[in-house]
Amino acid sequence: MNQTLCFIGAGNMARSLIGGLIARDVAAKGIVVADPIATQLSSLHQDFGVRVDADNAIAAREADVVVLAVKPQQMRTVVTQLAPVLAVKRPLIISIAAGIRADNIQRWSGGLPVVRCMPNRPALQGCGMTALFATPQVSRDSRELAVKILSAVGATLWVEHESQLDAVTAISGSGPAYFFLLIEMLEQTGVALGLPADVSRQLATETAYGSGRMAREASESAATLRQQVTSKGGTTEAALQHLEANNVRAIFAAAVTAAARRSAALADEFGAQ
């Protein structure tokens, strides 16, 4: 990768992407990071050897790609202030901020090509899931470049319509919290049934890990995998029948739908600011 990358924001997701890129032999000298927090910049420079600067405009002026890793409520101010600098080289803009639509970023930046991404928390461990959407101005080469950058922290896929990112946010963006809640509930129930807390935690977490790996690697559907571990008249069937009788599918569908609606509402709110 010969392009110069600029990260605006040095938080956890930016650090994960930078670490993933360095691990893939991207040259540290080709990465520059801007952030107002000096300790974060110092840590990134020390750990990865990347260039750092407290001034966004100075950091971005030579960039071929600018990765926006700031909080959603800061996005308009940051991009508007950067626009005069970005107009010179007209880099590809990659946003990893939730709830900010690509057309707003494009408008604030002066019409630059924008790839909007929705990564998730497991990216911090290099096993994330990122969905991407590109504005029509993004070239094929730029799309491929965006995938190279985001795939440094896990799997990637493209969505055809930006509105689909609201569903992505509800499923993979918020999804880790759903699985953590399930693990939490299994842990608590195990303790209530007489298991030591550490034993219950290990059982819950390792089962979640193994089940996720099975689902990822299997050619069968999740429904088929569920059926394969459910013996008629057995313990698993008893548990699943209780869940079904208490309308767990409808409850979960309503919860995920609420997350998708909130994602769309936040995009409206931030875009109107």
The CATH code of the domain that includes 66 is: 3.40.50.720
| 140 and 43 in a common domain | yes
CB 56 within 8 A of CB 81: yes
For residue 216, what are the domain limits?
A: 173-266
- As a whole number of angstroms, the distance between CA 252 and CA 249 comes to 5
| 71 and 147 in a common domain | yes
The pLDDT tens digits of the residues spanning 19-31 come to 999 999 999 999 9
| 189 and 120 in a common domain | no
| 53 and 129 in a common domain | yes
Q: What is the pLDDT of residue 270?
A: 82
| 186 and 153 in a common domain | no
| 143 and 115 in a common domain | yes
Regions of the chain where pLDDT drops below 50:
none
**44, part of any domain:** yes
User: Where a domain ends, among 132, 165, 198?
Assistant: 165
Instruction: Count how many domains the chain has.
Output: 2
What is the torsion angle, in degrees rounded to the nearest 10, for the CA atoms of residue 202, residue 207, residue 212 and residue 217? 120
CA end-to-end span of the chain: 36
Helix (H, G, I), strand (E, B) or coil at 129: strand
| 213 and 138 in a common domain | no
Burial class (CB in 10 A: 0-12, 13-18, 19+), 143: middle
**273, part of any domain:** no
| 145 and 30 in a common domain | yes
**224, part of any domain:** yes
H helix or E strand, kind and range, residue 154:
strand 154-158
Radius of gyration of the chain from its Cα atoms, rounded to whole angstroms = 21
User: Where a domain ends, among 136, 165, 194?
Assistant: 165
| 10 and 142 in a common domain | yes
Q: What is the pLDDT of residue 273?
A: 63
